[in-house]
Structure 1
Amino acid sequence: MSLLDMVKEAGIIGAGGAGFPTHAKLASKADYILLNGAECEPLLRVDQQLMEMFPDEIIKGFEAAGKQVNATKAIIGIKGKHKEVIKVLQERIEELKVGDYIEIGALPDIYPAGDEQVLVYELTGRVVPEAGIPIQVGCVVINSETALNIYHASLGKPVTEKYITLAGDIPNRLTVKVPVGTPIIDVLRLSGIENFEDYAVIDGGPMMGPVMNNLNGYVTKKNKGFVILKKNHPLIRKKTASMVQAKRINRASCEQCRMCTDLCPRFLLGHDTLPHKMMRSLSYDVKDLEGQKVAQLCCQCNLCEVFSCPIGLYPKSANNYYREKLAELNMRYKPTKEVFEVRTAREHRLVPSKRLIARIGLRDFDKPAPMTEITVKPEVVHIATRQHVGAPAVPAVKVGEHVQEGQLIGTIPEESLGAAIHASISGTVTESGNDYIAIRRD
């Protein structure tokens, strides 16, 4: 069986949060394969620990993925500040005798270094076109945990577990491995908090992650971490503002200073991302949406909204307002050129991570979240059929059927983009529907 088939059968998707099926990505041919170990979201700690704990497995999985796409060079992107992790990786690269193929690419400690287009430029000097993807400039990007899963797939092991960081205003900051489908509330309680009435939970990193409306969900292959903060924290208040509130505040206060645009990471790469113009359009209630198509170039990094604007307005919300309007009308942005040049001011406008963390009120919580040996054993798991980009998995088991951990329980629909799902515990199927497959532990 080829590596591509093994990756497909293992149900591997992008573990960094995007959830794109990895077998589809590895079907391309590229000049470079890049490992995204930047983990630039504040407080999250999964990738840096996995690279230190499982360097051989990640290197081997990364090398195998690189050979699969015929890449002539493989580069591990990791922030230069992680000196100990880099030392471990370098030693293992030499020991495994893959130094002629794999190298370390030290990234600056900026946000968003983990944005795949920023990563591509920092590691290769190539600029991904507007509304484009890395393969258009000969690059394939995978996450550190994804590389680990590729190694496991080569041994016949599917994805049944997920590494999660718990961080924020909590007694116990930690990183833990849990079965896919574990109730999120069970994971959150490992933080040392039992009653979440006064707390809000961000699903993912504090910059891009949404505030959860309820805590009744289940862990998927895409989850990376949960940031727990008091409900009155300024970041929570900012992220929970409604579109109506954001539009009203934007119209009343924007003075067109351009800071949201001037610090935008995609604008600095030469793209025509122009959030200040979306703010202007919103103020004048522009009806002709042709000029607002650039809103679709926003990468949702949230830098403009929580850092760049000097008076705390909502440029990303303005972008999203027009993105929604354009989607309703099925209008799409089309680039007018193929080659993009980085703006000369870029090197002077990069946002240091420490400064960002202080600005968004997380400096007191920017502490280690060490990997723990805690074993989470949920009585029942709910494994989502749609936890990836593409079509939901088709249930392959029936209610009452007994399954073993690692058994295939959901398949990819024919002629569709998707990912297989597997039992994360051994037990009896209690639900098998369009949304979830539930398994009760033996």
Structure 2
Amino acid sequence: MDLLNLIKDAGVIGAGGAGFPTHAKLTSKAEYLLLNGAECEPLLRVDQQLMKLFPDEIIRGMEAAGRYIEARKAILGIKGKHKEVIVLLRERIAALGLSNYMEVMELRDIYPAGDEQVLVHELTQRIVPEASIPLKVGCVVINTETALNICNAMAGNPVTETYITIAGDIPQRMTVKVPVGISIRDVIEQCGVQDIADYAIIDGGPMMGSVMNDVEGYVTKKSKGYVLLKKDHFLIRKKSVSLNRARIIGKTACEQCRMCTDLCPRYLLGHNMQPHKVMRALSYNLDDVKEQQIAQLCCECNACELFSCPANLHPKSVNILYKQKLAEQGIRYQPIQIDFQARSARDHRLIPSKRLVIKIGLTAFDKPAPMKQVEFRPEYIQIALRQHIGAPATPVVGIGDQVKAGQLIGKIPDNSLGATVHSSLDGTVIEIKDNSIVIKVGSYV
């Protein structure tokens, strides 16, 4: 079986949060394969530890993917501050005889270094065109854990586990390997918090993650972190503002200072993303949303909303509002340029990660979250059939079926973009509902 089918059968997806099926990403040839090891979200500590624990596996996964797409070079992008990991990876690349094909490049400690388009520019000096993807400039980007999962797929092991950082205002910060489908509550209980009702929980990183309405959900293959903060923390209050409230605030208070635009990472790459113009349209009640197509260029990194705006407004939320209106009318942004140049001021307007952490009130919690071995013993797991971009998987098991860890329980629908899903633990299927499969773990019912 060739690499693409091994990856496809293993259900490998983008583990950095987007969840794009990896087998689909590797169907095109490219000049560069780039590893996104930036992990630029504050407090999250997964990728940097995986590179230290599994350097050979990550390198082998990278090499296999790179050779498959006929990349002339594979580049691992890692922030320069992770010096120990960088030294280790360079040693292992040399020991594996890959120095002529693969190299580690050090990234600046900026936000959002892990944005695909920022990463491409930092590592290759190329600029992905507006509303396009890295492949347009000869690059394919994969996440650190994705590279690890590719290596595992080569050994016939499907994706049944993921690595998650639990961080924030908690007694025990940690990174743990968890079975896919375990309840989020079971994971969070490991951090030593006595009463979870006192906290709000961000699903993902503090910049791009969203505040959860409750903790009764289940871990998916693309889950990367949970940040727990007291409910009165600035970040929780800011993220809890509704789109309509953000619209009202922006309409009445925006002073058109341009800071949201001047520090926007996509604008600095030469794109036409100008949040201050979208805010201006809001203020003037402009009904013709066609003129606000630039909102679709927003990558939702939240730099404008959580760092740039001196008036504490919500430019990203307003962009999302216009994105929704444009989608309702079937309007898509049409680029008018092909070639782009980074703006001359870019190097002077990059956002230092430490300043960002201070601005969003996380300095006291910006501490290590070491890998901890935890044996989870859930009574049930709930495996989502849609943990990825594309169509949900189609169940291949029925109620009452006994399943083993690693067994296929959902296949890709015919002629669709999607990913397979597997049981992460032994058990019995007791329910198929809401695009998910519920399995009673352990003793059969």
Q: When the two structures are superposed, what TM-score results if normalisation uses the length of structure 2?
A: 0.99
Q: Residue 279 of structure 1 corresponds to which residue in structure 2?
A: 279
Q: Structure 2 counterpart of 1:252, which letter? A: T
Please report how far the alpha carbon of residue 105 of structure 1 lies from its aligned counterpart in structure 2 after TM superposition.
1.0
CA-to-aligned-CA distance 1:298-325 (integer Å, 9 cap, x gap): 0000000010001111111111111111
- Counterpart AA for 2:228: I
SS of structure 2 residue aligned to 1:439: strand
Give the secondary structure class of the aligned counterpart of 2:414.
coil
Structure 2: distance between partners of 1:247 and 1:393: 37
The CA distance in 2 between the partners of 1:95 and 1:426, in whole Å, is 38
Paired AA for residue 138 in structure 2: G
Looking at structure 2, the residues matched to 327 and 275 of structure 1 have their Cα atoms a distance apart, in angstroms, of 18
Counterparts of residues 2-81 of structure 1 (less than 5 Å): 2-81=2-81
- Any idea what SS the aligned residue of 2:282 has? helix
Q: Give the secondary structure class of the aligned counterpart of 2:195.
A: coil
Distance 1:433 1:302 in 2: 34
- Give 1:385's aligned residue: 385
Distance 2:376 2:40 in 1: 27
What are the residue-to-residue correspondences of 1:204-219 with 2, within 5 Å? 204-219=204-219
Q: Which residue of 2 aligns with 1:163?
A: 163
**Map of 1:337 onto structure 2:** 337
Partner of 1:268: 268
Measured against aligned partners, the alpha-carbon deviations of 1:12-35 in whole angstroms (never above 9, x if no partner) come to 000000000000001110000000
Report the alpha carbon displacement of residue 351 of structure 1 after superposing the two structures with TM: 0.3
Correspondence 1:339-358 to 2 at 5 A? 339-358=339-358
- One-letter amino acid of the structure 2 residue matched with residue 39 of structure 1: E
Q: CA RMSD in A?
A: 0.7
1:21-420 aligned within 5 A? 21-420=21-420
Q: Secondary structure at the match of 2:211?
A: coil
How far the C-alpha of 1:434 sits from its partner, in A, is 4.9
How far apart in 1 are the matches of 2:29 and 2:333?
26
Could you tell me which amino acid in structure 1 is paired with residue 67 of structure 2? K
**Structure 1 residues 177-213: Cα deviation after superposition (integer angstroms, max 9, x where no partner):** 0100000000011111142212100000000000001
Compare 68-77 and 188-197 and name the one that shifted more: 188-197
Identical-residue share of aligned pairs (%): 63
Tell me how far apart the structure 2 counterparts of residues 100 and 215 of structure 1 sit (CA, whole Å). 47
The letter for the 1-side match of 2:12 is: I
Deviations 1:126-151 (A, max 9, x none): 10000000001000000000000000
Matched pairs, number: 442
Q: Following the alignment from structure 1 to structure 2, what is the Cα–Cα distance between the partners of residues 136 and 302?
A: 25
**Runs of 5+ unmatched residues, structure 1:** none
The question of whether the paired residues in 2 share the 8 Å contact of 1:246 and 1:313 is answered with: yes
Alignment partners' CA distance in 1, 2:197 and 2:403: 37
Distance 1:279 1:198 in 2: 35
Greater mean alpha carbon deviation, residues 308-317 or residues 40-49: 308-317
Deviations 1:336-356 (A, max 9, x none): 111111100000000000000
1:395–1:433 CA contact under 8 A, matched in 2:
no
Deviating above 3 A after TM superposition, structure 1's stretches of 4 or more consecutive aligned residues are none
Contact 1:397/1:432 (<8 A) preserved: no
* Deviation string, structure 1 residues 228-248 (Cα, Å, up to 9, x no partner): 000000010000011222112
The gaps in structure 2 that reach 5 residues or longer are: none
Q: TM-score w.r.t. structure 1 length?
A: 0.99
Alpha carbons 1:220, 1:384 under 8 Å: kept: yes
The alpha-carbon deviation at position 383 of structure 1 amounts to 0.2
Q: What letter corresponds to residue 339 of structure 1 in structure 2?
A: D
Comparing 241-250 and 255-264, the one that deviates more = 241-250
Contact 1:326 1:332 in 2 (8 A): yes
Deviates most, 306-315 or 107-116: 306-315
